[in-house]
A and B are shown apart, each in its own frame.
Chain A
Amino acid sequence: MAKRLLSGVHFLQGDEACAEGAVAAGCRLFAGYPITPATEISERLSWRLPETGGMFVQGADELDSLTIVIGAAWGGWKTMTATSGNGICLMQENIGYACMTETPCVIVDCMRAGPATGIATAVGQGDFYQVRYGSNADYSIIALAPESPQEMFDLTVEAFNLAETYRVPTFVLADEIVGHMREKVVIPQRLELAERKRPSVPPEGFVPWQAEGSPPVPAMPSLGDGYRMPVPGLTHSETGGPHRDNYEGHKKLVERLYNKVEADADRLCRAEDGCLDGADLVLVSYGSAARAARAAARMAREAGLKVGFSRLVTLWPFPDAYVKGLARRASKLLVCEMSMGKLSREVERAAGGEAEVLLFSKPGVELHSPTEILEIARKVL
C-alpha cells in the first residue's frame, strides 16, 4: 500500500496539497463533482485514495457528493468533498443535515468570482457568509482559510481534526489563487491526528445523543456496530426519538449544536499578525488577499508608516475577542477582501467601536496589489 504521509519537500499546487492533506489525515472516501477551481483535488484523489486503501467517487452533482460523504462518515470513515461556491449552494440542505446529525466531514470551498456562474477561473472571496449561514435555521460550523499551498495541506489536516473533535462539518475556505498557485510544501515526518469519540459503554447502556465533555458532543458509534443508532434529521431527544411536541428539547438541542462551536471561539481562534508595534492602522484580511496585505504592511513600515497586518485563519467561529484586541491597539482597521464587504461587517461588529473600520473591497477577479493597499493606507492614516 502506498504511503498516506508523503513526508518531505514538494512543489505542489494548492489543490494538490489539499488532497495530500486529506490522505495524510486519514480520509477514506472523497466524493465530489467537477468544478473549477476545485477539480484538481478530485483528480489527485482519484488515484491517491485507491492506492492508500480509500475510495474516490465522482458524484452526480454536489447533492449526491455530500450525501455519500455523510453516509460514509456514519460507516466510520473520515470523508471529504470539495467544490466552489456554486456547489456550496447545492450542498446547503445536506450541510444542515450534517450539523443536525453531528457528522464529522470536511468541505473544501475554493472560492471563485460570482454571483451565479461568474468567472469560473477567477478568484473571489464572496462565500464568507455562505458557508456559515447558507443552510436553514440555526447551527454552527468551523471554517479555516489557507493562504498558501502549504496551508492547503496543514489546514486540511487541521479541518479533519476539528471535524472529528467537534463532530461538525468543517470548511477549508480556500480561493482560486490559493488553489491554483504552486509553491513549496513541506510535509512533516508525523502528524497529530484526532479521532472521533467512540462509545465507552456497551449498547445496553448507550444513550445515543447524550452529550458530555468539552466540547459537549455525544460519542459516535458507526452504523453496524450494534448500537441501534438513530441518525435523525428531525429534532431529537437524547434517545434519538422524534421530538415534535417537545419545545424544551428542541431548545436544548439547537443551543448545544450552536454553542459547542461558538462558545469555543477563543480556543478555535487561529490568526497571524505582524508589524503591530505602535501601529495606527492594521490591515485585516484572509486567504490570498492576506498575501498582498502583508506585503503592503512591510512596504509601509519601510516607508516609516505605522501599519500592521492581521491575517485571520479561523473565520468561523468568528474570532471576536482577537479582533477586539486589534481594535484596541490601533485606531483604524482597514479590511482588504475580495467581496463587497462581508469580512468587514464582522470586523466592525467585533471591534465594537474601539476602532474605525474601513473597507478596501474588490468583487473578486483581481487580487489587491500591495501598492494599491499602500496608497489607501497613506490616505487614511
Chain B
Amino acid sequence: MVQVAQHPALKYFRHDSPGVPHLWCEGCGIGLLWHYTVRAIEELSLDPNKVVWVGGSGCTGRMCTYWNYDYMHTLHGRPLGFATGVKLARPELTVIAHMGDGEASAIGGNHLIQTARRNVDLVAICNNNFNYGMTGGQFSPTTPFGARTMTSPDGHLEHPFDLCELVKTCGAAYVARWTVVHQRQCINSIKKAIQKKGFAFVEIVTQCPTAYGRRNQLGQGADMMRWLRQSSVRREQAAQMSPGELAGRIVVGEFVDRELPEYGAALRELARRRGGEVDA
C-alpha cells in the first residue's frame, strides 16, 4: 500500500479558508516566519488546541488567519492588549502575537512597552521588514535613516528604533533578534520564548522585496536574503565594533534571558492573599 506523506506543517494550516491561497507577495519573508513558528510548536510537542495566535492588521497581522486552531485577528497595533486578556483568563494557553514593525512600535508602541513592563507571559514576534507593506510601502519606526519609501521619496528623515533595546529596557524576560536567514536560531528563540514564563520578544528581520526592496535597489527575495545575511553581525562581535563599523548592520543574538515576576501569576497571588481563588 502506498503511503502518501503529509507535509508536517499542513495540520497547522487553515487550508479551507477563503484566504487561501495566501495573500503575501512572491519573495516575502512572512511565509518563513509562519513556518518557524509552527516548527517551534511542533518541536515542543504543544497541543495546538492550547495555542492561540493573535494578530492585528497588515501583512504580518494576517499570519494568524492561517493558523488552524484558535486565533484572534484584531485591530492594528493592539494584539498585545487582546493577548493579555486571553492569557490572564486562560494561563494554560500559549498565546503568540505576531506583529509587523509599524504595528508593534508605531500605533502599538504603548501596548508594546506596557506589556513588556508588566511582564505578561506572552510570545511577541515582530516581523521587521522596515516598512508598512500592505499599504504599499510607507516608512515605519524601524525604517533606516535615508531609506526610500512611498512616503520618504527623498530619503527617510527619522532615525529608527532599536526594538530589542526598547523592550529590554521596559522589562521583558526574553529578547532576541535574528534575520529570517537564521532559520535554526529563529526556531530556537521562538521555542525559548514559548517556554519563558514572562514577556518574550523575538524580532525577526525579513525581506519585503515588493515594497522596501524595490525602492532601495535591494533586488528580489533571494537577493534580499543574501543582503540580510551579509548585514548581520552577532551581538558578541558587535560589542567590539565602533558605531561607524556598525552603520547599516543588523545586530543579531539573544539580548536578555532572565527570570522576573510574571504579571498573571502576581494577580493570582494577590487574589489568594485576599482570600480569593482565581482558578477555583
Residues of chain A whose beta carbon lies under 8 Å from any beta carbon of chain B = 1-2, 28-29, 31, 47, 49-57, 60-61, 63-64, 66-77, 79, 93-94, 97, 101, 222-224, 226-234, 237, 239-244, 246
Contacts and interface: CB of A to CB of B under 8 A. Distances in A.
B75 A231 contact: no
B70 A53 contact: no
Interface in B67-124: 68-75, 78, 80-90, 92-93, 110-111, 114
Nearest to A231: B72
B71 A231 contact: yes
B89 A63 contact: no
Given A53-B276, A54-B276, A68-B81, A224 B74 contact: no
Closest 4 CB pairs of A and B: A71-B85, A75-B89, A67-B81, A72-B85
B49 A224 contact: yes
B261 interface: no
A162 B185 CA distance: 49
B275 A223 contact: no
A28 B85 contact: no
Contact of B271 (A31, A54, A64, A76): A54
A60 B274 contact: no
Interface string B28-57: 000000000000000000000110101000
A234 B85 CA distance: 20
21 contacts: A1-B276, A49-B276, A50-B274, A51-B275, A53-B280, A54-B278, A56-B267, A57-B88, A60-B114, A61-B110, A63-B81, A70-B82, A71-B87, A222-B90, A224-B52, A228-B49, A228-B69, A231-B73, A237-B18, A239-B17, A241-B19
B70 A229 contact: yes
B154 interface: no
Contact of A69 (B85, B90, B275): B85
Nearest to B50: A224
Contacts of B49: 224, 226, 228
Contacts of B92: 224
B245 interface: no
Contacts of A242: 17-19, 65
Interface of B: 14, 16-19, 49-50, 52, 54, 65, 68-75, 78, 80-90, 92-93, 110-111, 114, 267, 270-271, 273-278, 280
Given A50-B271, A64-B111, A75 B276 contact: no
Given A2-B274, A74-B72, A68 B17 contact: no
Contacts of B86: 71-72, 74-75, 223
Contact of A55 (B19, B88, B93): B88
B73 A232 contact: yes
B275 A72 contact: no
A67 B275 contact: no
B84 A68 contact: yes
A315 to B, nearest CB: 26
B81 A233 contact: no
A93 B75 CA distance: 8
A55 B49 CA distance: 25
Nearest to B52: A223
Nearest to A246: B18
Contacts of A228: 49, 68-70
A224 B70 contact: yes
Contacts of A243: 18
A66 B81 CA distance: 8
Nearest to B84: A68
A54 B89 CA distance: 9
Contacts of A69: 85
Contact of A223 (B70, B276, B277): B70
B90 A224 contact: yes
A63 B115 CA distance: 13
Contacts of B271: 49-51, 53-55
Given A55-B271, A67-B82, A77-B89, 15 more contacts: A50-B270, A51-B271, A67-B75, A67-B78, A70-B82, A71-B85, A71-B89, A75-B89, A223-B72, A223-B86, A224-B49, A230-B65, A233-B74, A239-B16, A242-B18
A242 B18 CA distance: 6
B18 A63 contact: no
Contact of A94 (B16, B17, B18, B78): B78
A206 B90 CA distance: 22
A71 B277 contact: no
Contacts of B277: 1, 53
Contacts of A31: 85
Contacts of A56: 267
Nearest to A101: B72
